[in-house]
Structures are given as C-alpha cells and as structure tokens.
Amino acid sequence: MKSLLKFITCGSVDDGKSTLIGHMLYDAKLLFADQERALELDSRLGSRGGKIDYSLLLDGLLAEREQGITIDVAYRYFTTDHRSFIVADTPGHEEYTRNMAVGASFADLAVILVDATKGVITQTKRHARICSLMGIKHLVLAVNKMDLVDFDQTKFAAIKEDFFQTTAEFNLQSIQVIPVSATEGDNITKKSQNTPWYEGLPLLSYLENVDVHNTDEAKHFMMPIQRVCRPDHTFRGFQGQIEAGSIAVGDELTTLPSREKAKVKRILVTDQDRDSAHAGQPVTIQLDREVDVSRGCVFTKDSHIKEADSFSATILWMDDSMLAPGKNYLVKVGTKVLPGTLTAILHKIDVNTGNTVPADRIVKNELAKCEFSLSDNIVFDSFEQYKSIGGFILIDRVTNMTSACGVIDQALQNSDRLVKLDTEITREVRAQQKGQNPLTLWFTGSVSDKSPLAKEVEKRLVSAGYHTMLLENGQGESARRMVEAAKWMNDAGLIALVSIDSPYDNDREIARDILGKDYIEVYVNEPLAGSSSTNDATGNPVIEIDTNKYSIEEAANVVAKQIMKYLIN
C-alpha cells in the first residue's frame, strides 16, 4: 500500500504557488485528457498571451481568475508510482491568512514559496511561523522565479541563509531548499540544466521520498467521541475517528473526564464488525458495560492525558475585530465545545523576529500568547502528542465565525482569576487623572532588606503626592500572579511596588515580558550587617542600591530620588 503525504503550498501573494502545483501535475502527466484540453482553452482567454496558465488548475473561483490570486484553499488528490498525495493550495494574501491556517492544520509538510526577486518577506515569515504553530515538522523552501534572476547561485544562497535564520527556533525535523521556476518548469519534476550547482532532487522526487514520520498509529489509543448511537434499547455505541493508536476487541479503555474503565465488546467500521481498528478510521465502539459518556468525551489508553478549566495558549487571531481581555467565546477542543473567556493577553509574538512584545489588544493576523478560563473542564494534551485535543478554535458567539485557532501550552491552576473587561476608559486616561506615569518597581536581591526598603520608598512617593500600591508575597506561581496584579495596578494608573523573592532570572523575565516599559528593577545589592542573602546579581538592573553603605531610610531616599525622573507624566 502506498504511503500518503498531506502537504500545503504557502507563501506570499503572487509567489507562484498555484502555478507550481499546476505545472507539477501537468508535467507529471497526472491530468485527465479533458482537464488538459480545458486548461489549454482557458489559457487562451487569460492574461498570459496564449501560454499555458498552470494556476488555472487550482484557482477555480471567478474572483481568483479575475484578480490572479488564490482566495480559498484548493485541495487536489493525485498519485504517482511511489506515493499518494493530498495537496492544499493556500492563499498568500494577508487578508486570507485564516484560509492558509486551515490548510496548515491538516498537513504533514509545507512547501513555502519565495519570490527570488524579493527574498524572504514578512508574509513568508508569518506563514512559516503558522506552519510551526500547526505542528508541521517538515518544510520545503521553493525559491521560485529563479529565471528572473538568471539562476544566480549567490542570490539563492542568500535567501536560503535568511530562511534558516528565520526558522532557527522552530522545532523542525527537516528543511529542504530547492531553486525552481514555476512557469518554466525548472526543478519541478526533473533536474534543470539551468542550475548545475544544485545537487538535490527536483521537487516532485523529493516529495515522493521524504519521510514525514507519521507515528499516530504508534501512540496510545485516543478517540474523541463525536456521537452516541442508540438506534434501539439493545444497542449503545460511541462513534468517532481514531486519532491515535489502535484498538481491539477485549481492550480496556478509560473514559475521560469520568475516568471510568470498560472493555471493548464490539468494533464496527461502517456497518461491518472488525476485530481491530487503527488511527484514521471512523468507528463505532460498543463497551461491555454502561458508562457516563457523551459527545466531547474521550476514549483513551493513555493515563497521562490532562484535564483543566483554564489554560495558556498560543493563538493566531483571524477576526476583523480586535481581541481584548474579558471577551467571551465558544472554545472547541476536539469534539467538545464550551463557553470560555479570554482572561489575559500575555504578549504578542513578532512574526519577523519571534520576540515577545507587550500588548493588551490583538489585531487580525497577529500571533499572541493568551490565557483562557472555561465554564467546565476540558480534556487535552500537548499538540505534538495529540493534535485533535492539543489544538482548539475560538468561535464568535454572535456570528458563529471562527475567530482564532491555537495550541494549548499548559494548564493553569488559578481558574478563579478575575477578568478585566474592555472599557473606553484607558490606562492613559487613568494616569492623566493621577498626574503620574504608572510603573512597577520590582525589588529583588537581599531577602531581608528589600521589603523594608520597598515600604520606605512607598512612604516617600505617597508624601510626594503619588498614588501607589505595595505588593508582597512568596515565589514561583505566586510571582506570576504578582506580575499580573502589578500590570492591573499599572493599567489603573497606579505605581506598583513589588517586593518578592525572585532569585531566578526566569521569574524576572516573565515580569519584563508582561510589564514591558513599565518594569523597573531595583536590585538590593548587599544585606545589612547580620542579615543574609541567597540571591545572585541580576543583569543590568535599572537601580542598584548597596544597603551595606546606607541605612534603610537613607537607601529609600536614594531610590526615591532616582525614580522621580520616570514618574513625571
């Protein structure tokens, strides 16, 4: 039986994605005679002066042919002597990024096209990052339009290096870079004489031979329940598609979230009894006893699958309206749909650099890390382990449109957290009312000295007419909650003074990411006589104070004087 490769073509608008796949199908003789004739006739009426326009094989919408761009995802199925393929030709225009994400969600490999005359641009990087987000581990960079740069090896090498830098942080298993010309056919189905310096396989040959390591069948059995089938009182079956692993009559299953155990009494594929079934097959399973299972529950043999009613996630926002904390959506994980609330936006992700950027609003096509709270527990696991319960979509409760897609990063413990609502009164308005710049002073260093120092600094700020709030707690998860509390204080126009044990740079890095320019670190360098410290020096604190040289009161005067320049509104 031939193996199946599911792949997408993506990249910026007009990089030649549809033309590439169309030319591949044409040259490989994978079209029916009537399709070839229709292509030749349609090309005569097109914009290429009678030359064959291979993109017409995939761009079927009238608007696509009129504009010469891809709008919707076009799926094509074809088979060569070595392999079967499903290809999704996705749009490159930024306006249709949501359609590209839909295509990426099903694929094992992505062919990303780059225009050799333009190189790697922002949309190329966005598509590469979305592919990584969707769990694609194998990329092919097709450097297209090489004929327009005279098949320049130096230009090709520069684009290759740029792309490698872009994807360096991605968790990929393979990257292949191929110089091609989608219109002329170079290196698509056979090696081109125009690129003697290229030693790799042409695109189709590479796709026929690449090993994508689809290990779904080797994983523990897992199946989300789509439907409970009860045609009469004698039969109760549970229907769904096996997402991973295999199952056989007599196997013991665990039902989630009820965590009841039962054995498989009967397996039906369509209407035929089977002794076993494997990943990818839709089945009906009958158990040997009654269990509490409905749509959205999960059958599994994996005891490590988790449950939670709140989680952090990385999302791609696809709605025209802005995303802001406090908004309610339907959250669909696997076959389960629950009401949920966006409780926090931790940061945006710069598609060019991968760096985190502080944000309290997300606009269309931006990537962000957020936190959500649900009305009930959902069953989930890592996206890498089980795609169907590791990813999710947000559904607008008014329009029923898909507003975002994302992958779950981790469960959160603080499911009873408060949610800040979106209002017209901004932090700038609140800060102006108080006549100050809201900041967070993060006191770190000496265990025994930082809290007394923070209290004395607050006294001086209040005496000077500033509005403050002092926060003090332990470390670890408490540190994260303190950062979020400090951000809320800043949004209210207040100056937050945080005295907390944060000996590890990871805790302070979280604070820097979330608070951004509002974060000022006060490093208490030396303990007073008789006290002790377990904290190492931090990297380049904004304010450093040696309490071995000053009393607490004197040190507070020094710190307060240094921060005054940051507080003037």
Q: Please report the pLDDT score of residue 429 as a whole number.
A: 87
Cα–Cα–Cα angle for 133, 137, 138, rounded to 5 degrees: 125
Helix (H, G, I), strand (E, B) or coil at 23: helix
Please state which of the ranges 32-41, 276-285, 356-365 shows the lowest mean pLDDT: 32-41
Q: Please report the pLDDT score of residue 72 as a whole number.
A: 57
Q: Please report the pLDDT score of residue 313 as a whole number.
A: 94
For residue 287, pLDDT over 90 is answered with yes
For residue 286, pLDDT over 90 is answered with yes
Compute the average pLDDT of residues 271-283.
Answer: 91
Q: pLDDT, tens digit, for every residue of 456-481?
A: 999 999 999 999 999 886 544 456 67
Q: Please report the pLDDT score of residue 475 as a whole number.
A: 46
Percent of the chain clearing pLDDT 90 (strictly above): 36
Name the residue with higher pLDDT: 460 or 541. Answer: 460
Give the C-alpha separation, 56 to 335, whole Å: 36
SS (H, E, C) 132-184: HHCCCCEEEEEEECHHHHCCCHHHHHHHHHHHHHHCCCCCCCEEEEEECECCC
Q: pLDDT, tens digit, for every residue of 114-170?
A: 999 999 998 899 889 989 888 899 999 999 999 999 999 999 999 999 999 999 988
HSE of 487, CA atoms in CB hemisphere, 13 A: 24
For residue 325, pLDDT over 90 is answered with no
Q: Which of 321, 502, 532, 551 is catalytic?
A: 502
Q: Please report the pLDDT score of residue 288 as a whole number.
A: 92
For residue 95, pLDDT over 90 is answered with no
Q: pLDDT, tens digit, for every residue of 507-523?
A: 777 788 778 888 898 88
Residue 369 — φ and ψ, nearest 5°?
-105, 125
HSE of 413, CA atoms in CB hemisphere, 13 A: 5
At which residue do the structure tokens 């932090």 appear? 427
Q: Please report the pLDDT score of residue 426 as a whole number.
A: 79
For residue 546, pLDDT over 70 is answered with yes
Give the C-alpha separation, 235 to 256, whole Å: 21
Q: pLDDT, tens digit, for every residue of 392-430?
A: 999 998 899 999 999 999 888 654 455 555 567 878 888
Q: Please report the pLDDT score of residue 52 as a whole number.
A: 66
Q: Please report the pLDDT score of residue 360 as a whole number.
A: 83
- Per DSSP, the residues of 264-278 read EEEEEETTEEESEEE
Measuring CA to CA, how many Å separate 325 from each of 321, 344, 360?
A: 13, 5, 7
Q: pLDDT, tens digit, for every residue of 176-218?
A: 999 999 888 899 989 999 999 999 999 999 999 998 876 655 6
Which residues, in sequence order, are CB contacts of 513 under 8 Å at separation 6+? Answer: 346, 347, 356, 358
Strongest mean pLDDT among 88-92, 449-453, 473-477:
449-453
Strongest mean pLDDT among 134-138, 159-163, 228-232, 444-448:
159-163
SS3 content of the chain, % helix, strand, coil (to 5): 25, 35, 40
Q: Are 201 and 165 in contact (CB under 8 A)?
A: no
Give the C-alpha separation, 9 to 353, whole Å: 22
Which residues, in sequence order, are CB contacts of 388 under 8 Å at separation 6+? Answer: 222, 224, 243, 334
Structure tokens at 391: 């990813």
Q: Please report the pLDDT score of residue 177 as a whole number.
A: 96
For residue 553, pLDDT over 50 is answered with yes
Strand pairing of 440-445 and 519-526? parallel
Measuring CA to CA, how many Å separate 109 from each of 4, 103, 121, 289, 407?
A: 11, 11, 20, 42, 18
Give the C-alpha separation, 333 to 296, whole Å: 8
- Per DSSP, the residues of 2-59 read --EEEEEEEESTTSSHHHHHHHHHHHTT-S-HHHHHHHHHHHHTSSSTTS--GGGGT-
- Binned at pLDDT 50, 70 and 90, residue 40 comes out as low
Give the C-alpha separation, 567 to 7, whole Å: 54
Compute the average pLDDT of residues 494-500.
Answer: 90
Give the C-alpha separation, 381 to 389, whole Å: 6
For residue 345, pLDDT over 70 is answered with yes
Q: Please report the pLDDT score of residue 408 as a whole number.
A: 93
Query: Does 84 qualify as catalytic in the annotation?
Result: no
Q: Are 548 and 564 in contact (CB under 8 A)?
A: no
For residue 47, pLDDT over 80 is answered with no
Q: Give all domains of the chain, ordered by start, each with its CATH number.
A: 4-209 (3.40.50.300), 216-300 (2.40.30.10), 306-411 (2.40.30.10), 427-567 (3.40.50.300)
Q: Please report the pLDDT score of residue 112 as a whole number.
A: 93
Whole-structure pTM value: 0.65
CA 3 to chain centre: 28
Helix (H, G, I), strand (E, B) or coil at 452: helix
